[in-house]
Every structure is written in structure tokens, then in C-alpha cells.
Amino acid sequence: MMLVTDAMPPVGSDNPSFVLKGETITVRDGVCQTADGTLAGSALDMATAVRNTVNMVGVPYDEAARMASTYPAAFLGLGATHGHIAAGFRADFVVLDETQHVAETWIGGVRVHTA
């Protein structure tokens, strides 16, 4: 099993709305919705998906991390270069703090964000 998210533009942004195909979509209570309340995508980021999997489902943290990295990389045929923190692999990863929130983001071995 792997974790996925179809996070829409407001995720990671201070702006709670965006336009999709001419329609304004707004995040309400963590859900992307049209003006009439129709579901229009997810506001779930991957760190929250991992946290939920650990805290709500009871999956061990190391397995939840593989579900968010190793398994999707293998599914996409990228298992030889992505999905692990090891020599020879592309260093795209996040560092989580003690509350399982993103503290740092690394892309290609370069730290690009610190919370």
C-alpha cells in the first residue's frame, strides 16, 4: 500500500482559494469545495497523510515513511534512484520535527526550505 495525495494549490500557501476551469475553489475545513459545496480536490499534504497513517491507523512510522516514498517510487519505475536515503539515490526528502511536521525540505541534496 502507498500514500498519495492530489493536493491542490492552497496546500502550503496562505491563499485559501484558487480558480480551476473558471470556477473558484475554496478550502473549507480542510476540503477543497466549489461555491455550492461540491468536492473539488484535496487539501491533504503528504506529511499529514503520514501523520494520519501513524496516529489514526496505527501503522508504524517507518512503514508509513516507506508508504510515502519507497513504494510510490517503485510503482513509478524510479526505485533504482528514488525512494531511499542512500548513496547513489537522489536526495529528495523532508525532515520532520518531533510533532511530525515538516522542519526542512531537501531537493537533489540541497536544503531548499527550513521551517
What amino acid positions are annotated as catalytic residues?
6
| CB contact at 8 A, 42 and 50 | no
Q: What number of residues does the chain have?
A: 115
Cα separation, 35 vs 17, in Å, equals 11
Residues 82, 92: contact at Cβ < 8 Å?
A: yes
Q: Say if residues 76 and 90 touch (Cβ distance below 8 Å).
A: no
